[in-house]
A = this chain, B = another copy of it.
Amino acid sequence: MHIPDGGEPKSRRGRGVTMQDVGRMAGVSQVTVSRALSDPAKVSPDTLRRITQAIEATGFVPNALAGALASRRSGLVTALVPSITNIIYASMVQAFGLRMRDAGYQILLSETGLTLEAEEETLARHLSRRPDAVLLTGIHHTARTRRMLLASGIPVVEVWDFTETPIDACVGFDHAATGRAVGDLAADLGHVQAATVCAGDERAKRRMAGFATQFTRRGGQAVLELGYDDQASLAGGRAALARLLDEMGFDRGLVFCSSDILAHGVLIEAQARGLRVPQDIAVVGFGDQEFSDATNPPISTVHVDREAFGRAAAEALLSGIEGRRDGPAAIDLGFRILRRGSA
Contacts and interface: CB of A to CB of B under 8 A. Distances in A.
Contacts of A125: 106
Given A107-B110, A264-B291, A296-B272, A61 B128 contact: yes
Interface string A189-220: 00000000000000000000000000000000
A27 interface: no
A151 B59 contact: yes
A129 B295 contact: no
Nearest to A69: B65
Contact of A97 (B111, B130, B238, B265): B111
A127 interface: yes
Interface string A91-110: 10110010001000011111
Contact of A84 (B94, B101, B293): B94
Given A85-B94, A106-B129, A61 B294 contact: no
How many A residues are at the interface, by size bracket?
35 or more
A263 B290 CA distance: 15
A31 interface: no
A294 to B, nearest CB: 4
Interface in A52-90: 59, 61-66, 68-69, 72, 74, 83-85, 87, 90
Interface of A: 14-15, 59, 61-66, 68-69, 72, 74, 83-85, 87, 90-91, 93-94, 97, 101, 106-111, 124-130, 147-148, 151-153, 233-235, 237-238, 261, 264-265, 268, 271-272, 290-291, 293-296
